[in-house]
Structure 1
Amino acid sequence: MIASNAAQHWADILELRPEVRASDGSVGELQMSLHKAVYQTVDVPYRKVEYYGNITEPTPNLVGFFARVARRLGTNADAPALFHLDQGMGGGKSHALVGLYHMASSPEGFFATDLGQQVYAEAARGTGEVDLIGAVTVTLTADYFSPGSTSEVFGPATNLFERFIWALVGGDMDRYQRYVAGGPNKGTLQQALTDAGRPVLILLDELMDYVLALADVAHIDTMPSEKAFLNALLDACDDVPRVAFVVVMIRSELDERGYPPAAVDFRDYVAARLVRNGQTVAVTEAQDFSAIIRRRLFELPDGELPLRDLTRRYTAADPAWRQHVFDKLGANRGLPGFEERAVASYPFHPELMRLVREEWSQVSGFQRVRSTVAIFARTALYWVTEHKASRWAPPLIGVGDIPLTVALEQLLSSGLLLGNDRAIQGYRAVANTDVTSTDGRSGRAVNVDVALRRDGVTVDQPAPAVRMATALLCYSIVSRGRGRRGATKAELMLAIFGPAGAPVPYPAAEEVFNKLTGDDGLGALEVTTPTNAPARYHLSIKQTLRMYFTAAMAVVPPEARGELVWEQAQKLASKGVFYNLVTVDKPAGEEPLEKVFEGVDSSETRLVLLDPRRWTLLNGKDSASRDDITALLGLGDHPLRVDNAASCVIACVNTQRRDIAFKRAAEVLAWREVLKQLTNDSEDEVREARGKHDEALAKLRRDAERAYQHFAYLVRAGELHVEFKRFDDDTRTALNGGHVWTALVEAGRATLPAGLSASYVAALLEGFDRVLTPREIVQSFYKNPSFPLITSTDEIRRVLYDLLNGGWELVDAENNPLSIATPEQISINSINQALRRRPEQPTTSPGPQPVTPGGTPGEDDQNTRSSAPDDRADHDPTKSSSAKPAGPTVYKRYTIQLANRSITGADARDQAWQLFRELAKVIDNANSADHQLLTLHLTLVTAEGHQGAIAAKAQALGSQVRVEDDDF
């Protein structure tokens, strides 16, 4: 027991582990390898269960996780079977897997450790006994084998299923072949697990390394079978008692390499099943850092830590330090509660661990435990060495006590500046020039210390300016939240505080601060003074805005990009001449399509805008989107029940261009984060950052417009189908209803204002086998894709009036004609009226007229009467109302050549039909046209049975018809 009034130094109490001393503070191999521990390809110390237990801190998360696995394996209690570790690099996943392997393969040795005792107690609570004797461990280290290739560890196996079976049967070839022959289905896997007759622990490490290889073009064809095996294995493990399955699969946003689309799809598929049937586990938390690091760096002390004496000496600070430093630090950072915080962080200062836990660990690239151990191992070894040499060493290792001479590279490579090479280079230069060089002989802070000693400033520390500048560097590397940068004066002063026994006079400490922040102090220092807040000091590097922008880009949430693109798309969208603009959001969960598209169907022309976060077209990823759009328009394998699909046009984003817009959205969000970090006092930076933000926002809007290239609508060209169209001209976008409507007009699917033709509508109406009511006619424009989209119902009213003046009539329910004087008098919503062609009325003539059986003048009779004036005038063209100019007739030969024109598309078929219809109209105009000869060469390549009667019609005209087989 250590006396409470003894002023012992931590370096006299805590002994560094041998591997820390032997590796010059590098702690050997920081990242544990499950493969090395299990297959012992390298003699790593943690392959021994005793060593593993000795260096592993039994944190609540780790103990709870191990206990749940042990309860599943060693008891018949109801416990989850599936566990998913998805933390980023340095989150302790491999460390946990090595521990699980030891627990299952050496249960007696594991449960004898401090960690194992706590795990056993937790697992046995309420169950009595945990029996893991004889457990089988299936270890699949996916980063050590490749798809389609064999390895010495897994015999003849070449895929996940075969490797699993090989490991499960322990290389028994007969059993292996029997189970492999059964195939990677749930039944085979259940049988294999049951036949083991013992608890089975399955560890699948670094699955995404294997999936990345599967996504390669050489192996991607095998990905579906691998996915199906994992699905079956997850189900089988959940169903067979005393089987546990632990999967390490890092989230894509936490993996610095990123994943290709196929790999992302694989991960999402497996993750969804793990979420549904298992537990996602975090084996470490920020509050565990201190205990984990202490356990990893130091041997367990035999006696009590001198925390009572240390607290007494810290809380004995004089009033100036209390008033100007400790009282200004904020809640849970001053002297109240210091002892409790010191217990958790010892031998490190609570402020240093707070910085790591609450600020550094929030940076996605920071590798948490691994990075912290790497930095603190060098730091601890440095100060232990100094103390053993009877030189000054801090009573607690604080923010300013990280020795940049030996730990700078560990600090810069910790992931705090991941991907920002320019910032890393900048801070390396600032550290060497402003703080201290590698040999400790130069640097502005070093020079300040020299000047202080020359001026007789007494501080009971060898290099207070260097320590204060080091703290400033640590506070400056990353944003500190809520738009803050750098450190306050109180935080910097705290870095050189000396407790009772080694006190630093406050005036002397303030002199260090003033010298360091003065004109002759730090060259990279920048000072900002927020409103109603203390001044803040930070070390900047060149291209400060770009540095903060890059750092902000690294923490932009992936989901925020899609939200911003969708927000901007809705702002940019305009309905044009469409009656309505309808937006459809990405559903929050797995909602049915009926719910997703609720409210889209209506009796009005509408442009429907789809959320780019769910629906995209082209780039090989659009099958689901096409199915949804087709269903929305009432077609496909699972059509929705819709009444007015013909008047609905869908606007959708292009997959590739959407990704461009998402990247642009990330830039906008990053600049917004930068603006939050800047203060109003830095007017030039604020102005420049706002300009960058506005520029990025303008580009985002442009890219969003360009991304919405696609639109889809219903057409009837033979059969009813959905027509998918794309704007290839960047000046047009599907977000603009006017652009879409113009394209529909060009495709013959819509009309311009006042552009609906009465003759066209008459032709459509004559296609019905009955007369229609005005209401049915109106509804046809919204329900029937044979009818064009119109700008308003006034168009229908106008056309109906034109028809009434051109041989049509409206009749009531008793078939009595109605007298309509103006378009406004037409009741277009009537269901008691009908529109029909006006019956021909007989005319009186001097002589007898041939009549049709119905009693009205026949067509031949009408032709005879129309030609009578010419007969009486002996065919004198000068006496005809259509007399031609005198002189010889000039004939021209019109030759049209159309070679191998594809007519598979609706537009091409319509254009061909327009040509034939025009030819028919010209030939039919025989009374007024002077046609002489017709030469027709027609080749139609079509499926047998689709040729209709063209052969018979051609032979009737005297044409020779040749039919040949075609290998088209």
Structure 2
Amino acid sequence: MRLLLLSVAKRLSGMGGDPVIQIQTSFGGGKTHTLIAVFHLAKSLVPTDRLKGIPLILDEAGILTLPKAKIAVIDGIKFSPSKPRTYEGQKVATLWGELAWQLLGKEGYAMVAESDAEGTSPGKESLTKLFEAAAPCVVLLDELAAFMRQMELDKHYAAGTFDSNLSFIQALTEAMKAVPNAILLASLPESDLEIGGSMGQRALNSLEKYFARVESVWKPVAAEEAFEIVRRRLFEDAGSEEKVREVCRHFFDFYHEYSDKFPQETQSGEYMERLCRSYPIHPEIFDRLYEDWSTLEKFQRTRGVLPFMAIVIHHLWVQGNSDAMILPGSIPLEISAVRTKSIHYLPQGWEPVIEKEVDGPKSTPAELDSRNTLFGSVQAARRTARTLFLGSALPAGNRC
């Protein structure tokens, strides 16, 4: 996000930067949050020195004062192709009419009024004049595919046709290139759940084709960044850096001492840093949730991980758990709320499997722990079963 905001700041100041940015991640990957961050940066409702992290970005760009920008925000979920909106008595039917009105009001709408009334794309030249008059300006397009998938092929709506809207996107991206202090950011879905059927897929394929000519593609939240986001949301203070590194060093040294028992990745210095960044949650939990579980339909990466880990952490705290780090084997699947959250996205039938084979007072692992004091002293069987569940419960086609 820092690099993206840096590019936006440069563009608005006429110092380079990308004219068109496509933001594409899976469900819950940070698209809308990124657009919100750009909105606050460009709108300048408060001085930039009061926006955390922004002064450093402006210093890096060599920008003393960021110009206040005009902003147009198009939310594809809120707009209907068949229902025009009315502003000060003026009906506005199309995306280009909406964009022009938001940027310059009546003056801007007049530049595309004929095209709006006819539902035909205004073309690159008209849009270039609009952006030149409004610059510095930002156009934010969120859920554009959701708007387009509502349109049947060869059917004319108040907002135009499917093809006229694609022509508008092509003209829009080309016009942005021509105005040095104008920028477009558009979010496109990555997951099948968000695409929404055959028309959604057709819309996405077409949009990607036109954006690909001029765009930069940004991935707002990488897995490593997500680790820290989750940790900050769930823990007010993870401990002093000295203490964190001390605990993680014990884990790292243990992996080195028994290097033949652990994956090769645990032997690199980078893994020590991963342990520190994700502490007090072990990075293996994040890896499984972000790499494997996020492939499940409706599992929303960060928005799916947060509530799951919140429930786990709460019950560990209630139990007085004293593990040095929250490991896959620490997840208390015997607790009904944790078990329910764990199997919510899985196929039917997992409840009795967990109760019998994984965790719970009557489970086989619990019985093994009770019969063997060596096992029972550390809940070895239950911890092993919990770990296996996290890493192998998904259908084979969903595991990385």
Q: TM-score range by the shorter chain?
A: 0.7 to 0.9
1:158 is aligned, of 48, 68, 93, to 93
* Alignment correspondent of 2:305: 372
Instruction: Give the Cα–Cα distance (whole angstroms) in 1 for the partners of residues 289 and 24 of structure 2.
Output: 21
**SS state of the match for residue 425, structure 1?**
coil
Distance 1:445 1:310, change over 3 A: same
Contact 2:124 2:175 in 1 (8 A): yes
1:280 is aligned, of 217, 221, 225, to 217
* Alignment correspondent of 1:473: 389
Structure 1 position 206, deviation (Å)? 0.6
Instruction: Give the Cα–Cα distance (whole angstroms) in 1 for the partners of residues 153 and 253 of structure 2.
Output: 65
* Alignment correspondent of 2:66: 132
Structure 1 position 161, deviation (Å)? 1.4
Instruction: Give the Cα–Cα distance (whole angstroms) in 2 for the partners of residues 235 and 358 of structure 1.
Output: 36
Instruction: Give the Cα–Cα distance (whole angstroms) in 1 for the partners of residues 238 and 256 of structure 2.
Output: 32
Cα distance per residue 1:750-795 (max 9 Å; x no partner): xxxxxxxxxxxxxxxxxxxxxxxxxxxxxxxxxxxxxxxxxxxxxx
* Alignment correspondent of 2:102: 167
Residue 97 in structure 1 maps to residue 16 in structure 2: no
* Alignment correspondent of 2:322: 393
* Alignment correspondent of 1:82: 20
* Alignment correspondent of 2:283: 350
Contact 2:24 2:217 in 1 (8 A): yes
Q: Which runs of 5+ in 1 are unaligned?
A: 1-61, 418-423, 479-546, 556-968
Contact 1:72 1:81 in 2 (8 A): yes
Distance 1:219 1:213, change over 3 A: farther
Distance 1:305 1:140, change over 3 A: farther
Corresponding letter in the other structure for 1:309: E
Corresponding letter in the other structure for 1:268: N
* Alignment correspondent of 1:223: 162
* Alignment correspondent of 2:236: 299
1:407 is aligned, of 338, 359, 362, to 338
Bigger drift between 291-300 and 334-343 goes to 334-343
Residue 444 in structure 1 maps to residue 364 in structure 2: yes
Structure 1 position 203, deviation (Å)? 0.5
Distance 1:411 1:217, change over 3 A: farther
Structure 1 position 224, deviation (Å)? 2.1
Contact 2:252 2:272 in 1 (8 A): no
1:255 is aligned, of 183, 192, 196, to 192
Structure 1 position 265, deviation (Å)? 4.2
Distance 1:134 1:403, change over 3 A: same
Cα distance per residue 1:458-486 (max 9 Å; x no partner): 7555x4433322111111124xxxxxxxx
Distance 1:84 1:337, change over 3 A: closer
* Alignment correspondent of 2:119: none
Instruction: Give the Cα–Cα distance (whole angstroms) in 1 for the partners of residues 361 and 86 of structure 2.
Output: 54
**SS state of the match for residue 143, structure 1?**
coil
Corresponding letter in the other structure for 1:240: V
Contact 2:245 2:276 in 1 (8 A): no
Instruction: Give the Cα–Cα distance (whole angstroms) in 2 for the partners of residues 306 and 153 of structure 1.
Output: 59
Distance 1:217 1:444, change over 3 A: farther
2:149 is aligned, of 199, 203, 212, to 212
Instruction: Give the Cα–Cα distance (whole angstroms) in 2 for the partners of residues 290 and 174 of structure 1.
Output: 47
Paired-residue identity, %: 24
* Alignment correspondent of 1:615: none
Structure 1 position 259, deviation (Å)? 5.3
Instruction: Give the Cα–Cα distance (whole angstroms) in 2 for the partners of residues 340 and 84 of structure 1.
Output: 31
Corresponding letter in the other structure for 1:292: I
Distance 1:153 1:392, change over 3 A: farther
**SS state of the match for residue 265, structure 2?**
coil
Contact 1:186 1:232 in 2 (8 A): yes
Structure 1 position 380, deviation (Å)? 2.3
Structure 1 position 381, deviation (Å)? 2.5
Instruction: Give the Cα–Cα distance (whole angstroms) in 1 for the partners of residues 338 and 304 of structure 2.
Output: 11
Backbone CA RMSD of aligned residues: 3.4
Corresponding letter in the other structure for 1:333: T
Instruction: Give the Cα–Cα distance (whole angstroms) in 2 for the partners of residues 219 and 467 of structure 1.
Output: 60
Instruction: Give the Cα–Cα distance (whole angstroms) in 2 for the partners of residues 110 and 369 of structure 1.
Output: 28
Corresponding letter in the other structure for 2:39: Y
Residue correspondence of structure 1 range 842-853 to structure 2 within 5 A? none
* Alignment correspondent of 2:265: 332
Instruction: Give the Cα–Cα distance (whole angstroms) in 1 for the partners of residues 363 and 291 of structure 2.
Output: 30
**SS state of the match for residue 349, structure 2?**
helix
Residue correspondence of structure 1 range 898-913 to structure 2 within 5 A? none
Structure 1 position 69, deviation (Å)? 1.5
Cα distance per residue 1:774-829 (max 9 Å; x no partner): xxxxxxxxxxxxxxxxxxxxxxxxxxxxxxxxxxxxxxxxxxxxxxxxxxxxxxxx
Residue correspondence of structure 1 range 644-655 to structure 2 within 5 A? none
**SS state of the match for residue 186, structure 1?**
helix
Q: Which runs of 5+ in 2 are unaligned?
A: 117-121
Contact 1:201 1:245 in 2 (8 A): yes
Contact 1:89 1:255 in 2 (8 A): no
Instruction: Give the Cα–Cα distance (whole angstroms) in 2 for the partners of residues 330 and 441 of structure 1.
Output: 32
Residue correspondence of structure 1 range 887-898 to structure 2 within 5 A? none
Distance 1:473 1:148, change over 3 A: same
Instruction: Give the Cα–Cα distance (whole angstroms) in 2 for the partners of residues 413 and 119 of structure 1.
Output: 41
Structure 1 position 397, deviation (Å)? 0.6
More helix by share: 2
Rg (Cα) greater in structure: 1
Contact 1:141 1:206 in 2 (8 A): yes
**SS state of the match for residue 77, structure 2?**
helix
Figure out how many residues of one structure are paired with residues of the other and give that number.
390
Residue correspondence of structure 1 range 701-712 to structure 2 within 5 A? none
Contact 1:137 1:168 in 2 (8 A): yes
Contact 2:252 2:266 in 1 (8 A): no
Residue correspondence of structure 1 range 317-328 to structure 2 within 5 A? 327-328=260-261
* Alignment correspondent of 2:10: 71
Distance 1:137 1:382, change over 3 A: farther
Cα distance per residue 1:246-269 (max 9 Å; x no partner): 111224xx2226555555444333
Instruction: Give the Cα–Cα distance (whole angstroms) in 1 for the partners of residues 293 and 392 of structure 2.
Output: 11
Instruction: Give the Cα–Cα distance (whole angstroms) in 1 for the partners of residues 218 and 366 of structure 2.
Output: 47
* Alignment correspondent of 2:356: 433
Distance 1:411 1:115, change over 3 A: farther
Instruction: Give the Cα–Cα distance (whole angstroms) in 2 for the partners of residues 260 and 358 of structure 1.
Output: 24
Instruction: Give the Cα–Cα distance (whole angstroms) in 2 for the partners of residues 293 and 407 of structure 1.
Output: 18
Contact 2:49 2:55 in 1 (8 A): yes
Instruction: Give the Cα–Cα distance (whole angstroms) in 2 for the partners of residues 433 and 384 of structure 1.
Output: 25
Instruction: Give the Cα–Cα distance (whole angstroms) in 2 for the partners of residues 330 and 427 of structure 1.
Output: 29
1:115 is aligned, of 44, 50, 53, to 53
Cα distance per residue 1:933-956 (max 9 Å; x no partner): xxxxxxxxxxxxxxxxxxxxxxxx
Contact 1:101 1:137 in 2 (8 A): yes
Residue 188 in structure 1 maps to residue 126 in structure 2: yes
Distance 1:234 1:477, change over 3 A: same
Structure 1 position 139, deviation (Å)? 0.7
Contact 1:435 1:469 in 2 (8 A): yes
Instruction: Give the Cα–Cα distance (whole angstroms) in 2 for the partners of residues 407 and 106 of structure 1.
Output: 43
Cα distance per residue 1:100-131 (max 9 Å; x no partner): 11111236555534432443344x1xxx2154
Instruction: Give the Cα–Cα distance (whole angstroms) in 2 for the partners of residues 281 and 312 of structure 1.
Output: 34
